[in-house]
Amino acid sequence: MNLSARFERWVTIGVVGLALFLDYLLYGAAIPLTPYAPGQLRHDQMGALYGWYAVSVLVVTPVFGYLGDRFGSRPTLFCGVILAGISSLSFAIGSGFFILSIAKLCQGAASAALWTSGLALVAERYTERRAEMIGYAFTGSTAGSVLGPVLAGVLHRAAGYSIPFVLVGGLFALEGFLLLLVPKGRRGSSEPVKWRTLLLNSSILAQAGFVTLAAFAWGIVEPLLPYHLESLGASVEVVGILFTVSSVLYGLSAPWVGRLSEHFGVQPIILLGLISMAVLLPLLSVPEQIVLIGGVLCLVNVSYAFILNPASAELGNAVDRAGMSCYSAVYAVYNISYSAGMIATTALATATAGTLGFRGMLVSISAVLVLCGVVAASMQIRRRSMTESSVS
C-alpha cells in the first residue's frame, strides 16, 4: 500500500472515530443537563424524551441503511452530522418540551446515521484488518461516553446550561468540515438491498446476536458501576478517571484483538470474550478497594473488545462472502442489535434492581453469557463436524 492510500485510510478512521466520539459526547452531556433546561419538565415528560430517542434510533436506522447503500456512506454520514448539529442547538435552546423533543428525535436519527454509515465507511476501506480498525473507531465512542457527563458538569457550573451544547454543536461543525477530507468511497448501488438474503444469512444473524450480547453485558456497567463506586467513597473525578483509563486500554487492545482474530479465527476469540466477561462481571462488586475495581473494569473492557470488535468486523466479512456490497444495510442490523441489547439491560435493571441488587444483576448477566457461550460453542462444533463429514 502506498503512502497516500495509507494516509487516506487513517483519515477515514480518524473522522469516523471523531463522529462516534461526538455522538456519545452529546448523549453523555444531555443526561445530566436536561433536567436543568430553561423550560422545566415534569417527570413524565423526562421519560417521554428518552422514549423519543429510542424510537428514533430504531425507526430511522433501516432508512439510513438503505440510503447508505443507495447513495454512499459519506453523504449519509454527513446527514448524521447535520442532524446532530440541529440536536445540539435545540438542546441549547431547551425552552420547552416541544423543542427538547425535537432535540431527542434528531439525536436518535443522528446516532442511527453516524453509526450505520460510519462503520460501513470503515468496512469499505478495510477489507483486511477490519476488527482492528473498527476497534479504533469504537474507542472514540467509549471516550465520549466517559467525558460527556464530566465535561457537561464542569461547563454547566462555570458558564450555564447552554454552553456545553453550543460547544458540542461547534465540534459537529468541525466534523462536517473534516468529513470533506475523507476520499469518496464506492458509489451507491442502484440495485435494491436484498434484505431477505441479508437477514436469512446465518453468519450475519450469529454476529448480530454477539453484538446484542456485548451491549447487554456492557450496558449494566456504564449506568450502575458509578453509583457502586460512589457508595465506596469515590468522587466523580475518580470515577471518570477509572472509566477513562479502561477506555484507553480498550483502544490499545484493538490491534492485538484484530491480530488474534486473524490468527485463531473470529468465533474462538468471541467465545473467549464471552467467557472472560462472564467471569469478570461479578468481580466488579466483590472488592471494596476502588483501585482493584478499576483493574477489573479494565479487564472487562478488554473482554468487551473481544466480543464486539470481531463480531462487528465479521458482519462486513459476511457481506463480502455473500457477494454483496450492502455494508450500510448490514451495519443497520448492527445498530438495531446493539439497541436491542441496551433495551434488554434496561428492562432487566428496572425489573430486578430492587430485589437482586448490583451484584445479583451482574451474576444474572454472567449466567446469560455462559448459556449463550455454550450454545454458540456447540453450534460451532456441530458445524465443523458437518463440514468435515461432507469433505470426507
Across 8-12, 19-23, 204-208, least confident range: 8-12
Cell numbers for 273, please give them. 470474550
% pLDDT > 90, the chain:
27
Cell numbers for 124, please give them. 469499505
* DSSP secondary structure letter of residue 233: T
> Rounded to the nearest 5 degrees, what angle is found at the Cα of 385, between the Cα atoms of 380 and 389?
150
**224 and 369 part of one domain:** yes
Candidates 45, 98, 24, 16; CA nearest to 247 is 24
Whole-model pTM: value is 0.80
Give CA–CA dist 162/149, Å, rounded: 14
Give CA–CA dist 366/3, Å, rounded: 45
**165 and 308 part of one domain:** no
Q: How many domains does the chain have?
A: 2
Q: What is the model's pLDDT at position 386?
A: 62
Q: What is the DSSP string of 164-220?
A: HHHHHHHHHHHHHHHHTTSPP-SPPPSSPP-HHHHHT-HHHHHHHHHHHHHHHHHTT
**302 and 354 part of one domain:** yes
**313 and 354 part of one domain:** yes
Give CA–CA dist 332/123, Å, rounded: 13
**5 and 134 part of one domain:** yes
Would you place residue 269 in the very low, low, confident or very high pLDDT band (cuts 50, 70, 90)? very high
Please provide the average confidence, as pLDDT, over all residues in the chain: 83
**324 and 275 part of one domain:** yes
Q: Which segment, 143-157, 167-181, 246-260, is predicted with the most confidence on average? A: 167-181
Q: What is the model's pLDDT at position 388?
A: 55
Where among 190, 220, 243 does a domain terminate? 190
- In terms of Cβ atoms closer than 10 Å to its own Cβ (0-12, 13-18, 19+), residue 318 is buried
Question: Helix 73-93 vs helix 43-71: angle between axes, to the nearest 10 degrees?
Answer: 160
Across 154-163, 240-249, 325-334, least confident range: 240-249
Residue 311 scores a pLDDT above 70: yes
**183 and 223 part of one domain:** no
pLDDT (mean) for 45-73: 82
> Exposure string (b/e) for 353-388, b if CB count within 10 Å is 16 or more?
eeeeebeebbebbbebbeebbeebeeebeeeeeeee
The pairs formed by 369-376 with CB atoms below 8 angstroms and a separation of 24 or more are 369/213, 369/217, 369/274, 369/275, 369/277, 369/278, 369/281, 370/274, 370/275, 370/278, 372/209, 372/213, 372/274, 373/271, 373/274, 373/275, 373/278, 376/206, 376/210, 376/267, 376/270, 376/271, 376/274
Q: What is the model's pLDDT at position 369?
A: 92
**231 and 320 part of one domain:** yes
Would you place residue 193 in the very low, low, confident or very high pLDDT band (cuts 50, 70, 90)? low
Give CA–CA dist 88/55, Å, rounded: 19
Residue 357 and residue 374 in contact, taking contact as beta carbons nearer than 8 Å: no
**201 and 143 part of one domain:** no
Where among 165, 190, 215 does a domain terminate? 190
**225 and 272 part of one domain:** yes
What is the per-residue pLDDT across 61-116, written as a single tens digit (0 to 9) for each? 999 988 888 888 889 999 999 999 999 999 998 888 888 889 999 999 999 999 99
Residue 268 and residue 277 in contact, taking contact as beta carbons nearer than 8 Å: no
**241 and 178 part of one domain:** no
Residue 69 and residue 325 in contact, taking contact as beta carbons nearer than 8 Å: yes
Q: What is the model's pLDDT at position 85?
A: 95
Would you place residue 148 in the very low, low, confident or very high pLDDT band (cuts 50, 70, 90)? confident
- In terms of Cβ atoms closer than 10 Å to its own Cβ (0-12, 13-18, 19+), residue 173 is middle
pLDDT (mean) for 191-211: 81
Where among 164, 190, 216 does a domain terminate? 190
**207 and 129 part of one domain:** no
CATH code of 368's domain: 1.20.1250.20
Quote the domain boundaries for residue 2: 1-190
Residue 116 and residue 331 in contact, taking contact as beta carbons nearer than 8 Å: yes
Residue 38 scores a pLDDT above 50: yes
What count of residues does the chain have?
Answer: 392
